Chain A
Amino acid sequence: GAGVSQSPRYKVAKRGQDVALRCDPISGHVSLFWYQQALGQGPEFLTYFQNEAQLDKSGLPSDRFFAERPEGSVSTLKIQRTQQEDSAVYLCASSLGARGYRNTGELFFGEGSRLTVL
């Protein structure tokens, strides 16, 4: 596709439910990032993949959060036993080169998945 695609765009979950958020990066992009954006805040780093390898997961807030990119393209962010504090927009971004921004600079963001936990 022409850009980074995320689904679902909107998700309402009851507290305690598991959710899965999908990211389809730009074809050929090596680096993939997940960010969490709370209302009125800047994106906060969650995790980073280079191809299928998860090189940095230091931003995942708890062991309820899990991300994968098994074939080096599509990525899924899974949140288990959702809590109200998980409500946010989850942004996925991809970059052409390895090592994140270093080669090409620009991160291309998706429209985000807005998660609301009731």
Chain B
Amino acid sequence: GENVEQHPSTLSVQEGDSAVIKCTYSDSASNYFPWYKQELGKRPQLIIDIRSNVGEKKDQRIAVTLNKTAKHFSLHITETQPEDSAVYFCAASAGDKLIFGTGTRLQVFP
């Protein structure tokens, strides 16, 4: 079945710097790759997603890139702000469900 690996597990950046989180997946049939943000004690919320027919997608300070050949995708956050501090999860589709990575705790220091 699908396996999703995510790294780094923790990431600390200075406010204003960029942050990059990377994920790899195993199932070449996967065709949908969302990213969820989870603040402490809160529910995961979708921040951006990409489908396999697109190589890159951008929404303001957030972008996601997908390399289907290498089976990896990345989340890029530019001009980070303290409110970006949270745990970020990547996921890949497997049939009708999503398989999640283990998460990256991002800390943005003022």
Residues of A within 8 A of B (CB): 4, 31, 33, 35, 40-45, 48, 50, 55-56, 91, 99-102, 105-107, 109-112
Interface residues on B, range: 20 to 34
Please determine whether A55 and B45 come into contact, CB atoms closer than 8 angstroms.
no
Given A42-B100, A42-B101, A43-B100: A110 touches B43 (CB 8 Å cut-off):
yes
Q: A41-B103, A102-B32 are in contact. List 5 more A-B contacts (CB 8 A).
A: A40-B103, A48-B97, A107-B34, A109-B43, A112-B43
Majority secondary structure, B binding face? strand
Q: How far is the CA of A55 from the CA of B93 in the complex (A)?
A: 16
Contacts of A102 in B (CB 8 A): 32, 93, 96
Q: How far is the CA of A115 from the CA of B6 in the complex (A)?
A: 26
Majority secondary structure, A binding face? loop
Check if B18 is an interface residue, CB within 8 A of chain A.
no
- 17 pairs, CB–CB < 8 Å, chain A vs chain B: A4-B43, A41-B102, A42-B89, A42-B102, A42-B103, A43-B44, A43-B100, A56-B95, A56-B97, A101-B93, A102-B32, A105-B49, A106-B34, A106-B46, A109-B44, A111-B42, A111-B43
- Minimal Cβ-Cβ distance residue in A for B46: A106
- Minimal Cβ-Cβ distance residue in A for B2: A45
